[in-house]
């Protein structure tokens, strides 16, 4: 009889481009989302949760750097329909705005938070699943809505811990860029592919530099790995017009606007975009959002293909060190813009809309880089087990602590080795341990060990100092909660 082939054991590893998140990371993200939601709510936005799965038809094809059907998304066929995991939170909103248009207020202001998935090449710090935090206004054509989104983004960054001076919200307008395209002879349906490449090239300015962008405007560019990216194939004169647009930023907003007006001279769509930028600048200035927080910057274009008007990006301006030890600016953590044609795909009628998306993981990484978040998290108080027969008493203790609002757990491993219980508490980053055996129970007492102070004493103090600074206390059983509160308050 043939030998039954043994099934190989599955590999215990995350799929390429994905990662796992543990206690402190999840808690910090939750806290950040709560703070962001507080700002959005204060501005009058309501929460919305949509399905993680949409039809491919509803999602549309708007991701950058995609050339074949369903590329860029995780998609599968079901009952002759193609479904996919959402790649952002804006495309599902467009579907919701169309599906419930008779029930929703107009304008409709919503915020949404959750994971999105992109089937793209992963890289350092670039994952295929990540969190986004969006806010959008659907049904308002005035650029006052765009200015409000920019102001809200500025307020949000400051609330989560990025102070003024460490960030700038940069604003541009796709109509201005379309005006440049018009002047360069790149408008028209037959030039759509070239325009897409030009947009993506400009969007990569901070990563590729001027020479890299110039190569993508021409024949193309080979990266360090040898991969070749096809360029837009522009002639020298056309490329020079686009490069002039990227270099249009001047010392202040009015001078930048004046230079943009020169560049789009003769293009009506370009002139409309410049006028919208001027109006936004006036509105923001009236609200106290000056150029130290929000500025006009022609290099902002955003890679997604559905933007139709103002576009904006929040950049963190402080320096960090990259994996090779070189200093660099942290870069972008949020972006958005106006997308008046997205809902039209469903309804056939133009529905104005604008919004912003914050990259939550990027923002958390920035706070870590600034030393504003601890990578560890306070663990629970651990009630150790000295006598298995007294498990009901230990459970009574932990219930009392929890009812008093103190995070606590009973040690549920093998209690034979008491040292292992304290090692467990250390691994959990526990602030304190409760110790009680037969003698303590008979005397109506309990031992409370300050694990944080104990670790500091062991690390820094001499033997004499150790005697003067006890880190373990014996207290009456009915004073357990009070003693733990005193210890926890002392730890800050």
> In the CATH hierarchy, which top-level class contains the domain 381-490?
alpha beta
pLDDT cut 90: percent of the chain above it: 57
| Structure-model confidence comparison of residues 373 and 171, the more confident one | 171
Whether 33 shows a pLDDT value over 90: the answer reads: yes
Give the pLDDT band (50/70/90) at residue 283.
very high
Question: Does residue 69 register a pLDDT over 70?
Answer: no
Instruction: Please state the rounded mean pLDDT for residues 9-30.
Output: 92
Tell me: pLDDT of 173 over 60: yes
Mean pLDDT for 293-297 is: 94
pLDDT digits (tens, 9 = 90+) for 123-133: 777 899 999 99
**The pLDDT value given to residue 465:** 54
The lowest-confidence range among 117-131, 183-197, 243-257, 359-373 is 183-197
Has residue 463 got a pLDDT over 80?
Answer: no
Q: What is the pLDDT of residue 287?
A: 94
Q: What is the pLDDT of residue 464?
A: 56
- Of 47-61, 266-280, 309-323, the one with minimum mean pLDDT is 309-323
- The pLDDT of residue 66 is above 60: no
Domain with CATH 3.40.50.800 in the chain: 381-490
Q: What is the mean pLDDT of the chain?
A: 88
pLDDT number for residue 163: 93
Ranges in the chain annotated CATH 3.30.930.10 = 23-369
Residue 462's pLDDT band, with cuts at 50, 70 and 90, is low
- Give CATH superfamily name and number for 23-369: Bira Bifunctional Protein; Domain 2 (3.30.930.10)
Residue 321 predicted with pLDDT over 80: no
pLDDT of residue 296 exceeding 80 = yes
pLDDT of residue 304: 62
Least confident of 137-151, 206-220, 284-298, 418-432: 206-220
pLDDT class of 437 with cuts at 50, 70, 90: very high
Q: With cut-offs at 50, 70 and 90, classify the pLDDT of residue 68.
A: very low
- Position 7 scores a pLDDT of 85
Annotate the chain with three-state secondary structure. Answer: CCCCCCCCCCCCCCCCCCCCCCHHHHHHHHHHHHHHHHHHHHCCCEECCCCCEEEHHHHCCCCCCCCCCCCECCEEEECCEEEEECCCCHHHHHHHHHHCCCCCCCCEEEEEEEEEECECCCECCECCEEEEEEEEEECCCCHHHHHHHHHHHHHHHHHHCCCCCCEEEEEEEHHHHHHHHHHCCCCCHHHHHHHHHHHHHHHCHHHHHHHHHHHHHCCEEECCCCCEEECCCCCHHHHHHHHHHHCCCCCCHHHHHHHHHHHCCCCHHHHHHHHHHHHHHHHHHHCCCCCCCEEECCCCCCCCCCCCCEEEEEEEEEEEECCCCCEEEEEEEEEEEECCCCCHHHHCCCCCEEEEEEEHHHHHHHHHHCCCCCCCCCCCEEECCCCHHHHHHHHHHHHHHHHCCCCEEECCCCCCCHHHHHHHHHHCCCCEEEECCHHHHHHCEEEEEEHHHHHHHHHHCCHHHHHHCCCEEEEEHHHHHHHHHHHHHHCC
Looking at the chain, the whole-number percentage of residues with pLDDT higher than 70 is 93
pLDDT attached to residue 215: 86
């Amino acid at each position: 009889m043939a030998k039954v082939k043994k099934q190989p054991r599955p590999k215990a590893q995350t799929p390429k481009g994905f990662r796992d998140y543990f206690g402190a990371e999840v808690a910090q993200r939750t806290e950040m989302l709560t703070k962001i939601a507080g700002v959005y709510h204060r501005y009058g936005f309501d929460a919305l949760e949509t399905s993680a799965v949409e039809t491919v038809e509803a999602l549309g094809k708007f991701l950058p750097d995609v050339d074949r059907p369903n590329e860029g998304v995780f998609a599968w066929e079901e009952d002759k329909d193609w479904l996919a995991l959402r790649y952002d939170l804006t495309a599902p909103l467009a579907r919701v705005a169309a599906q419930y248009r008779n029930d929703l207020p107009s304008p409709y202001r919503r915020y949404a938070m959750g994971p999105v998935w992109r089937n793209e090449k992963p890289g350092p710090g670039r994952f295929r699943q990540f969190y986004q935090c969006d806010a959008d206004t659907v049904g308002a054509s005035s650029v006052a809505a765009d200015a409000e989104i920019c102001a809200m983004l500025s307020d949000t960054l400051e609330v989560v811990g990025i102070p003024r001076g460490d960030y700038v919200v940069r604003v541009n307008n796709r109509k201005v860029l379309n005006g440049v395209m018009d002047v360069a002879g790149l408008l028209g349906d037959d030039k759509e592919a070239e325009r897409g490449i030009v947009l993506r090239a400009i969007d990569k300015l901070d990563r590729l530099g001027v020479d890299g962008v110039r190569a993508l405007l021409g024949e193309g560019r080979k990266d360090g790995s040898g991969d070749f990216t096809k360029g837009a194939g522009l002639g020298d004169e056309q490329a020079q017009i686009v490069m002039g647009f990227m270099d249009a930023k001047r010392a202040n907003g009015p001078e930048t606007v004046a230079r943009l007006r020169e560049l789009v001279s003769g293009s009506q769509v370009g002139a409309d975009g410049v006028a919208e930028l001027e109006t936004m600048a006036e509105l923001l200035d009236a609200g106290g959002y000056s150029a130290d927080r929000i500025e006009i910057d022609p290099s902002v274009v955003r890679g997604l293909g559905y933007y139709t008007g103002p576009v904006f990006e929040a950049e963190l301006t402080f320096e960090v060190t990259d994996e090779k030890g070189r200093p660099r600016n942290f870069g972008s953590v949020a972006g958005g813009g106006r997308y008046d044609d997205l809902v039209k795909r469903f309804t056939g009628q133009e529905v104005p809309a604008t919004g912003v998306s914050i990259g939550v993981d990027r923002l958390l990484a920035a706070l870590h880089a600034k030393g504003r978040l601890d990578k560890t998290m306070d663990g629970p108080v651990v009630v150790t087990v000295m006598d298995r027969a007294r498990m009901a008493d230990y459970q009574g203790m932990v219930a009392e602590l929890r009812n008093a609002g103190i995070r606590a757990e009973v040690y549920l491993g093998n209690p034979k080795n008491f040292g292992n219980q304290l090692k467990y508490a250390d691994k959990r980053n526990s602030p304190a341990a409760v110790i009680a055996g037969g003698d303590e129970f008979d005397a109506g007492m309990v031992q409370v060990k300050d694990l944080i102070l104990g670790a500091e004493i062991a690390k820094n103090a001499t033997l004499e100092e150790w005697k003067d600074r006890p880190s373990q206390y014996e207290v009456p059983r009915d004073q357990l909660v009070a003693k733990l509160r005193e210890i926890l308050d002392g730890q800050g």
